[in-house]
Chains A and B, each alone.
Chain A
């Protein structure tokens, strides 16, 4: 039987964790702005700007401490153009924007994880 032991003389994990938190928060903030921008471009692209309310109330909200964020809108009727109605075909905006931004977010997180 072979026995071994490890002696920790220096612990860099707390320092690395602190640095990582900041980088992840920055990456998440960039993604929130990116998604807001892509959604707004999508609203214009599909012409869903009758009143401008959807476009003007779409806003990213970044919560750095929680490494979280979202993009919200102040109107409820965005679902009708985005998902279609009984009489109108859909003009999707949100899902295409998410699909565009997701790989960019993964790259940002991968970059943040590098020492």
Chain B
């Protein structure tokens, strides 16, 4: 069983419940901004107990709002909605159990290229997921 898609599914479902429209990896050209992207930032590590029983693995997801803008204000409400939807959450998805989802740290990045500026605002979320 692979836990990574279960972890991403949990995040996706939580964001949809919050009224957001997340995309995996990148958003298609022309997507209304600000948009939300989910990406696996690290597969994390497995936690084993006696008998090689895998209790969970703890992938790290970067979840961020992205827009062509020169102001953080354009992204703040969406980034706040992401955090409200994901931080300190737990639950279940098809084929998996989410023991914990917590933000490890916030994320911001300014992307400059060709005279165009994009800003990215969100957070790194550690998900402990068993499958």
Contacts and interface: CB of A to CB of B under 8 A. Distances in A.
Interface of A: 79-80, 83-90, 92, 95-96, 98-100, 103
Contact of A83 (B29, B40, B43, B107): B107
Contacts of A85: 111, 113, 118
B6 interface: no
Nearest to A95: B42
Given A85-B113, A86-B66, A96-B41, 13 more contacts: A83-B41, A84-B25, A84-B37, A86-B111, A88-B26, A89-B26, A89-B39, A90-B41, A90-B62, A95-B42, A95-B124, A99-B60, A103-B45
B4 to A, nearest CB: 12
Nearest to A86: B118
Interface in B99-131: 107, 109, 111, 113, 118, 120, 124
Interface of B: 25-26, 29, 37, 39-45, 60, 62, 66, 68, 107, 109, 111, 113, 118, 120, 124
Nearest to B60: A95
A79 B113 CA distance: 13
A42 to B, nearest CB: 10
Given A84-B26, A85-B118, A86-B68, A92 B111 contact: no
B80 to A, nearest CB: 20
A83 B62 contact: yes
B39 A84 contact: yes
